[in-house]
Structure 1
């Protein structure tokens, strides 16, 4: 896509359905059309942007085997939804998308949910160096609930009425975030060892993460006693900043996205929204067009 920004760039690049099809074909089949049924087969071009696999006799097009397969909506609708969805820092609601495309809210919701399904692959990074880890809890505040919907004893780290999310953020790098069943050490430690390289420096809020000191250098703050962090320079001249400010800022952005754009997210679909957040965070230095191409290339 061109270097121009915004929706005008989109309309210039994709003025019609044919332009979307050709763009997707170039991403998916850079070295020539390949049959999704038999990669070794010769392929014949047919009318209407369709192809025929010689070995199987089956017909296919560029949408076959992708999120766009069997869709009744034009590919240009999908492209518009993805570009809008990926270019807004806090996403786009299904209500807004339904108005923009002139489709039902249910159809728009299904489109956005399909788009999120392919973002999980970007929430599986390897982290190293200085890594901040923390948990957050997604859900409305109990004090704001109607009296007949208030939940007893749900203060602090209780998640009777909230969804716990565990995150790891490499300073100056990427973030990994997962919905977890609880915040016990035996639940969280495997995520740390899976995603954080050994001998990394891990900054925590003092919560018990099991035996991570055997593999990592752990430095902690303690919000309970009012210790939110400190900085110092080592004898070797290395600057050390003990804090979890960066991942806490990431959580703040996540919550503003959910409560400001989506208002309410069910636990069943929470991980998809977390994947959306991590994808957008991990591509924060990309242009809108670069982010669009990266995502489209992935699903192609």
Structure 2
């Protein structure tokens, strides 16, 4: 959806409400949240977001249990923020949204955070009897050694380590080569403080992979645990080649490229506390990149399936 289409679709706040009712309830009239009735539900006068059910004599908001529930921001500003966020291939920063929408930085930051929560509000995909690529990447830390700075005497500083063995946060991704759908999770330390173990890799794999599958990995020793499973395991040695016939992890590595470019180029820095929500954002973008109704898909996911505790502390965002 481009800007002209957005203007035609949502000229007033009432059009936003009507469209959301259609997305949430599948009809032009909402269902009562208490009794489920629909025949005697009427809009309340002077409160366009609220409806009254004459069957159980109760009032309810069509935005209850959604990311919009406790927001006083204009609904058209919300729709425009979602429009901008989806049209930016690698996202937009809170400062950029503040320049585009008449809200404060704190409000813009919260809006983007809520949209990311909706992006992650989706059931895990299920990959069965297919070719699976699994790989890990590491987020955070200093630039690579080729970009290291020199000290005051003109001597190169200490080399910046990459990946394993650093304080960077590991993220594990599992991709179905048939559908190109991806599932990615931030790894957390085990009880001994270790990251990243074979058991953790297997846990992420089995969150979405059902039954016996063909699994492609690199030479990381953590994947040796796959020998104890029913999966057919192939490994590619990246010191020799990027691919050996159909044995490669190029698809999931392409996804990591988009994640890294988004974080480095748009957000610059992401804390460990919020990293999973950013990973959910990039998974949603990847899994819906060919979905022409991505806007409405995201609106449907704005209805929360569980209570989410929100933080009010802003994080660093790119200008």
- Taking the aligned partners of 1:210 and 1:77, their CA distance within structure 2 comes to 50
What's 2:254 paired with? 249
Tell me, what secondary structure is at the counterpart of 1:122? coil
Return the offset for 1:123: 6.7
Q: Deviations over 1:151-202 (max 9, x none)?
A: 9984441231x11100011114200000002220011111212211322111
Question: For the Cα contact (< 8 Å) 1:16–1:76, is it kept in 2?
Answer: yes
- Taking the aligned partners of 1:184 and 1:44, their CA distance within structure 2 comes to 56
Question: For the Cα contact (< 8 Å) 1:123–1:177, is it kept in 2?
Answer: no
Residue 167 of structure 1, aligned match among 164, 167, 173: 173
Greater Cα offset, 202-211 or 176-185 = 202-211
Return the offset for 1:112: 0.5
What's 2:30 paired with? 33
What's 2:184 paired with? 177
Greater Cα offset, 150-159 or 122-131 = 150-159
Q: Normalized per residue, which structure has more helix?
A: 1
Distance 1:123 1:154, change over 3 A: farther
Return the offset for 1:255: 0.4
How many correspondences in the alignment?
281
Distance 1:200 1:88, change over 3 A: same
Q: TM-score, normalised by structure 1?
A: 0.86
Tell me, what secondary structure is at the counterpart of 1:59? strand
Question: For the Cα contact (< 8 Å) 1:186–1:210, is it kept in 2?
Answer: no
Distance 1:188 1:123, change over 3 A: farther
Q: Deviations over 1:211-230 (max 9, x none)?
A: 3233211110112x423321
Unaligned runs of at least 5 residues, structure 2: 152-156, 189-194, 304-319
Tell me, what secondary structure is at the counterpart of 1:118? helix
Tell me, what secondary structure is at the counterpart of 1:271? helix
Distance 1:122 1:210, change over 3 A: farther
- Taking the aligned partners of 2:284 and 2:290, their CA distance within structure 1 comes to 11
What's 1:298 paired with? 301
Question: For the Cα contact (< 8 Å) 1:85–1:92, is it kept in 2?
Answer: yes
- Taking the aligned partners of 1:170 and 1:65, their CA distance within structure 2 comes to 32
Question: For the Cα contact (< 8 Å) 2:173–2:185, is it kept in 1?
Answer: yes
